Amino acid sequence: MPADDLPPPDVVELHGGPLDGRHITLIGWTPRRRADGIALTTPHGAYGPGGRSWYRPDPDDPSRWIWERDTP
């Protein structure tokens, strides 16, 4: 089966930012929800406890999500 026909992965690895190397599970996420990315609460970001780190899918590799920024 060509790579373009494969379903998106259910587990992705985060790259960059404070959660680099961690894995998250996306079971049941719609394509739209995946495209929106995710804000994960972490005490390790620029805003300390309660801050969020934003990640989005890598357009070249759907199993890899790239850090965008931290927000309060």
The answer to whether residue 11 is domain-embedded is yes
Tally the domains of the chain: 1
Give me the torsion for CA of 39, 40, 43, 46, rounded to 10°. Answer: -30
Is the residue at 33 inside a domain? no
Would residue 43 count as lying in a domain? Answer: no
On whether residue 22 sits in a domain, the answer given is yes
Q: Is residue 9 situated within a structural domain?
A: yes
Domain of 20 in residue numbering reads as 1-26
pLDDT tens per residue across span 8-63 = 789 999 999 999 999 999 998 988 999 999 999 999 999 999 999 999 999 999 89
Q: Has residue 70 been placed in a domain?
A: no
Residue 57 lies in a domain: no
Predicted pLDDT at 43:
94
pLDDT at position 7: 61
Is residue 52 domain-resident? no
Q: Is pLDDT of 64 > 70?
A: yes
Which DSSP state fits 10? S
* pLDDT at residue 2 is higher than 70: no
